[in-house]
Amino acid sequence: MSPVVKPKKEKFTLPGKYLLLIFSIISIVLMIVTYGTTAFDKPFNAAIGYVVVPFEKGIGRLGEWLHNRSDEFTDVKRLLAENEELRDEIAHLTEENAILAQDKYELNSLRTLFELSNEYDSYNKVGARIIAKDSGNWFSSFIIDKGTNDGLEVNMNVIAGGGLVGHISAIGPNWARVTSIISDGTHVSGQVISTGETLVTEGDLELINSNIISFSMLEDDDNLVSVGDKVVTSKISDKYLPGILVGYIQFIENDNNNLTKSGYITPAVDFENLSDVLVITDMKLHDYD
């Protein structure tokens, strides 16, 4: 026996034209009632007041709310536009500030080189900019933007920041490699200004992390050398011209042989922050070592 299928109930729908007619009639009635309220007695007027007045108030409040929202939306658009303008202005000022900071840094760097040039006025010099360096934090070896086309040669001395940086170890037409005095195994013959005693410095990249380089072979029989004394390049150096500041005695102790002393020197140059250097174009005329 097959199941009985119940017919689906059809949903009641009112055609759109009837809805429109009903709303139109309601609107006309409300208009007539509103217009004719003066012709009715007071009880009827009171009844109409309960219906029409709240409706009119609601419409008024709705209009006021929409007006306020419109003003707020206009204010938001204006604030967003102003915010975008301020962002652009801040970005522009930030860029200008960065440029000014860079200009100030370069100006200070050039001023330092100028003062250094005056300090070593007896030597002829050429300014150069560092364009590349070896990996790591320290400028143990780097490339400058001057070469043989600018009259530079291998073994010319390089100075910056108040003292000796190193010497040119390789060169091309428009570039040169500088090996600094902090490079491993690099030796410099130095002299303590206060006593005239000589010593030999040795580069060590592990020590430079503590901002020092080692020295040895100091003969100081009278114990005249002390911490803070200036050390400059000596006259007997094979590569370096005499009188260039190397650094300051930081620590000193007697060697096991009780004949010489050794210790550490704080370099005059900040080997972690270099950008421009001076190349002394005068060459050492004789080798004494």
**Average per-residue pLDDT for the chain:** 78
Q: Are residues 96 and 150 in the same domain?
A: no
Report yes or no on 143 lying in a domain.
yes
Same domain, 170 and 38: no
Q: Is residue 201 part of a domain?
A: yes
pLDDT band at 224 (very low <50, low <70, confident <90, very high): very high
Query: Three-class SS string for 226-280?
Result: CCCCEEEECCCCCCCCCCCEEEEEEEEEECCCCCCEEEEEEECCCCCCCCEEEEE
The pLDDT confidence band at residue 120, using thresholds 50, 70 and 90, is: confident
Task: Please tell me whether residues 151 and 267 are part of one structural domain.
Answer: yes
Whether 167 and 93 share a structural domain: no
Overall number of domains in the chain:
2
Question: For the CA atoms of 194, 248, 204, 130, what is the dihedral angle to 10 degrees?
Answer: -120
Q: Among the three residues 119, 154, 177, which one is the final residue of a domain in this structure?
A: 119
CATH of the domain at 145: 2.40.10.340
Higher pLDDT, 198 or 24: 198
Residue 274 confidence (pLDDT) above 80: yes
Same domain, 75 and 136: no
The mean per-residue pLDDT over the stretch 159-175 comes to: 93
Asked if the structure places residue 245 within a domain, the reply is yes
Return the pLDDT at 288.
Answer: 41
Whether residues 34 and 80 fall in one domain: yes
Residues 257 and 139 in one domain: yes
Q: Is residue 2 part of a domain?
A: no
Question: In whole angstroms, what is the distance from residue 64 CA to residue 57 CA?
Answer: 10
Helix, coil or strand: residue 204: coil
Determine the pLDDT at residue 105.
44
CA angle, 182 then 230 then 115, to 5°: 80
Claim to verify: residue 189 and residue 255 sit in the same structural domain: yes
- Encode pLDDT of 26-74 as tens digits: 666 666 655 555 444 455 555 555 555 565 566 656 566 656 666 676 7
The verdict on residue 5 lying in a domain is no
In this structure, are 106 and 132 located in the same domain? no
Instruction: Answer whether residue 11 is part of any domain.
Output: no
**Pairing status of strand 157-160 against strand 163-171:** antiparallel
Same structural domain for residues 177 and 227? Answer: yes
Structural domain boundaries enclosing 260: 125-280
Could you tell me if residue 33 is inside a domain? Answer: yes
Least confident segment among 104-108, 227-231, 238-242: 104-108
Cβ count within 10 A of residue 231: 30
Whether residue 157 lies inside any domain: the answer is yes
Instruction: Examine the pLDDT at 237 and tell me if it is beyond 70.
Output: yes
Single residue among 98, 119, 140 that ends a domain in this structure = 119
Single residue among 76, 103, 119 that ends a domain in this structure:
119
